[in-house]
Structure 1
Amino acid sequence: MATAAAAEAIDAAEGKGGGGRKKLILIVLPLLLAGIGAGLWFSGILPKLLGMGAHDAAAGHGEQPQAEAPRPPVFFEMPDIITNLNASGRRPVYVKLRSKLEITRAEDAAAIQTAMPRLLDLFQTHLREMRPEELRGSAGTQRLREELIARANIAVAPPPGSTQPAPRVTDVLFLEMLVQ
């Protein structure tokens, strides 16, 4: 159908001379190729040829590709931590922290329990270096959360050369944080 229209346009242009025919071919040919390409794309032939058939075909029909169902988070209860902060002045300032660790797999709870002495040491050491001003506001709490997540992942990492997968702590949830 498109080729018939192109042929009619070429025949009409032949009556006008050779220069008009070249211009018409330069205009009609790209339009014809674009039409053929669009037809192949929307029919699903071109994506299959390009190796995108399975993913794009499912997306084009409103179907989602089969993926593994997300696992619900697993929470690990941490013991309460009470320690002094790095306060200037004569009066000591204490922090009480009650928290939970969010981990990716329930099987990692045993590895976290094994690493608990190291985990508590890293948490307390970091808290003792903090000043009370650093814990004020949501920004201070967020910075503390990020530091504790990093320290928790260091504490629960398996020894070098181990073949077991490393447990991963994805979040630290503060249940209670009192600064006094």
Structure 2
Amino acid sequence: MAAAAAAEQVEMAAGKGGGGRKKLILIALPLLLGGIGAGLWFSDILPSMFGVGAHPADEHGRTAAAEPPRPPAFFEMPEIIANLNATGRRPVYVKLRSKLEITRAEDAAAIQLALPRLLDLFQTHLREMRPEELRGSAGTQRLREELMARANIAVAPPAGSTQPAPRITDVLFTEILVQ
């Protein structure tokens, strides 16, 4: 009888260990499969197998290579000196040297043609600014955003034109001097 009780206890202990092993397999297997699937997805093996995000093929079945991104082109603006809207008897001036970042180098000719309008819009905006507005990086960033918006307005082709508009993506300051 003692032998039967001992055998029963051994079976119960073995049953508990087997249940724990089953739980471990039930938890670990989906995690392992999910990890393998994620690795295949993010390494672009799985999407290419299903044709998701594939490059379009030409008439011969070859995939077209993505066009390499163009390096940005820059347009050098002439130096601008303008008096600021300052209170007091003493005038305050700003000296600004900048470059325009453009998407295509071919747009430099269109910007050169619009340069008088561009300079007028820049100087008009600078004359309305107060010296306090140019202080700090936040003031410089606001000036950059405003000049970029004005530059895109100045270089826009006239209504009804079939030419694509030059796009100015940034205004880079090479010198800002407030005196």
Q: Same fold (TM over 0.5)?
A: yes
Cα distance in structure 2, aligned partners of 1:137 and 1:68: 39
| Correspondences of 1:122-141 after superposition (within 5 Å) | 122-141=121-140
Residue 118 (1) aligns with residue 117 (2)? yes
Secondary structure of 2:89 counterpart: coil
In the TM superposition, 1:9-158 aligns within 5 A as 48=50, 52=52, 54=54, 66-158=65-157
Q: Distance in 2 between matches of 1:122 and 1:139?
A: 21
Contiguous gaps of at least 5 residues in structure 1:
1-37, 56-64
> C-alpha deviations, 1:153-172, integer Å up to 9, x for none?
00000000100100000011
Whole-Å Cα distance in 2 between the matches of residues 109 and 115 of structure 1? 10
2:128 maps to amino acid = E
Normalised TM-score (structure 2): 0.67
Match of 1:167, SS?
coil
List per-residue Cα deviations over 1:44-81 (Å, max 9, x = no partner).
69x74xx63736xxxxxxxxx83210111101000000
Equivalents in 2 of 1:53, 1:96: separation in Å? Answer: 50
The alignment-based identity, stated in percent, is 83
Alignment coverage as a number of residue pairs: 132
Change beyond 3 A, Cα 1:91–1:68: same
Which residue of the partner structure matches residue 19 of structure 1?
none
Runs of 4+ in 1 over 2 A off after TM superposition: 42-45, 51-55
Q: Give the distance between the partners of 1:94 and 1:115, measured in 2 at CA.
A: 25
* Paired residue secondary structure (1:172): strand
- SS in structure 1 at match of 2:74: strand
Q: 2 CA distance for matches of 1:53 and 1:83?
A: 52
Q: CA 1:93–1:71 in 2, change beyond 3 Å: closer, same or farther?
A: same
- Determine helix, strand or coil for the equivalent of 1:162: coil
Return 5+ residue gaps in structure 2 as ranges. 1-36, 56-63
What is the alpha-carbon distance in structure 2 between the residues aligned to residue 138 and residue 44 of structure 1? 46
User: Take 1:137 and 1:177, find their aligned partners in 2: how far apart are those partners?
Assistant: 12
SS at match of 1:54: coil
